[in-house]
Amino acid sequence: MRITETGDLWWKNAVIYSLDVETYNDGNGDGIGDFAGLAGRIDYLAELGVTCLWLMPFFPSPDLDDGYDITDFYNVDPRLGSLGDFVEVTRTAHDRGMRVIIDLVINHTSDQHPWFKQSRKSTDNPYRDWYVWRSDTPPDTSDKVVFPDQEDSIWEQDDKTGEWYLHNFYKHQPDLNIANPKVRDEIFKVIGFWAQLGVDGFRIDAVPFIFSTEGNTPEEIKAFGDPHDFLRDIRAMVGRRTGDGIILGEVNIPYKDQYTFFGQEHGDGLTMQFDFIGMQAAYLSLARQDPAPLVKALGQRPQLSHGTQWANFLRNHDELTLDKLTDKERQEVFDAFGPEPEMQVYGRGLKRRLPSMMGGDPRRIRMAYSLLFSLPGTPSLFYGEEIGMGEVLSEEGRMAVRTPMQWTPEPSAGFSTAGVRKLVAPLPSDGYSPEHVNVADQRSDPDSQYAFVRDLIFRYRQHPELGWGHHEVVEQPHTAVLALRCRHDENSVITLHNFSADGVTVAFSLDEEPGTVLVDVFTGEECRLDDKGRIEVVLDGYGYRWYRVHGPDDRRLY
């Protein structure tokens, strides 16, 4: 790998940081985050080491689903600022070396969107078939609903015409009819619009639902053809309009099906996909203190083409879904990390952030993030993870983790000059309150979670083979330890992670040329192999180590 290649396929060793504008920083004192406030925190993100900023929906919306119910794809919600404010943020981020991707929500709109208002007026309205309608009574679809505590069907009868419209999510979010070429044309215009304003790609929401043919006629399905051609067209257009832009997909389905969404061996579909299966296996491994489930998941990943990549995460803005685990496995994770009913949601996930799930144990928390950054793929962080923010369990469902960013120990967390009661969402209390968890205190503390994550990002960026290379398991005797080696051309890194609270001495062997040493990535300490290529490494409970394999002809600095 030439280092110059990393600038072309930049996403293969990027650091993605996801945030919601309305909960990040308030610039005008009304208690709601906005683009003016975000602009004032771009330097903070650059200092942290973020290379790709992912903005959750900021479009005009009734805000019944935290902005995912959109009424205008071509504008900014007035509460958050203007298009001019958006461009200022994007321009400033680019100047600081960060790319910006935004959510592309094309499965559905708000029922307040002008398109749907037209669609529901009559059965022969020009916008009628922009959505999916049926005149006959739908069958029982309670087993298909995404939010079983909120909906009991994916069809809703509309009073205007007496017919039913499709909504895979909430009833106030009618599904767009992607089989309609006019809808697809409009989606391309949306993509072109934001590309013209400087975005570097899109995170596509709920990708499998976009290609659902539920409610479409055989004629529509035949005319639509292969839905993946539409995905290829999106990838191609983003590339043409941005030069090196990406499409990052939310695709929580089995690996074999994810491979299809990547474009299979051609790699002309999604540029990146979040690895939901690997994430869930990681939590099962953490619960069992045994990396075997994670190793199994990594071994099941399909081999990707050169221009595609996995995105790894431990937390995102939704519930921590465990839907791909068996009932018994899911219960193991519940018992370990969310035993109380109020910590669980939808019967399949958790509404907690990682620090609280780990009982606030800094050893275990840091091991988990070290693991995230060492897995094959690109790491993605959810805002506040870098300082160890907690959740507000009294908030409904997924909103528990979407709390204001905690900048200072002040009552309103430095998020806003408004009083606590006027904030867009409540702040965590007890040990995770702003008094105890905030950026200001941690930036000046070399032993803080913030300092740890910043250094972790720096070390990860120093070793692009972690994002580019081929990973293999290194044989060693401890079932609680995961030893991975990542190789790419002449570069190689070995990472060790102890999933147990008990310290261990890890012995393993490497087949390397004489004079090779292992250099501790974080300390610079050299560890020499014996004359048979063996080495022993001490790992504390929940300990971790990264080693660069440094051969006699390796000219890299350390």
Residues labelled catalytic: 205, 250
- For the chain, what percentages of helix, strand and coil (3-state, to nearest 5) are there? 35, 20, 50
CB half-sphere exposure, 360, CA atoms < 13 A: 7
Which has the closest alpha carbon to 499: 409, 335, 371? Answer: 371
> 546 with 493: CB under 8 angstroms?
yes
Phi, psi of 457, rounded to the nearest 5 degrees: -60, -45
Q: What is the DSSP letter of 428?
A: P
Q: CA–CA distance from 158 to each of 117, 164, 266 (Å)?
A: 11, 6, 43
Q: What is the DSSP letter of 393?
A: T
Q: Strands 201-204 and 272-274: what pairing?
A: unpaired
Q: CA–CA distance from 422 to each of 31, 354, 404, 426 (Å)?
A: 5, 27, 12, 9
Residues near 38 by beta carbon (within 8 Å), at least 6 away in sequence = 19, 21, 24, 25, 27, 89
User: In angstroms, how far is the first alpha carbon of the chain from the final one?
Assistant: 19
Tell me which amino acid residue 175 is: D
Alpha-helical (H) ranges within 449-511 are: 449-462, 465-468
> 56 with 93: CB under 8 angstroms?
no
Which has the closest alpha carbon to 174: 127, 230, 221? Answer: 127
Q: What is the DSSP letter of 87?
A: H
* DSSP collapsed to 3 states, 93-146: HHHCCCEEEEEECCCECCCCCHHHHHHCCCCCCCCHHHECEECCCCCCCHHHCC
3-state DSSP assignment of residue 357: helix
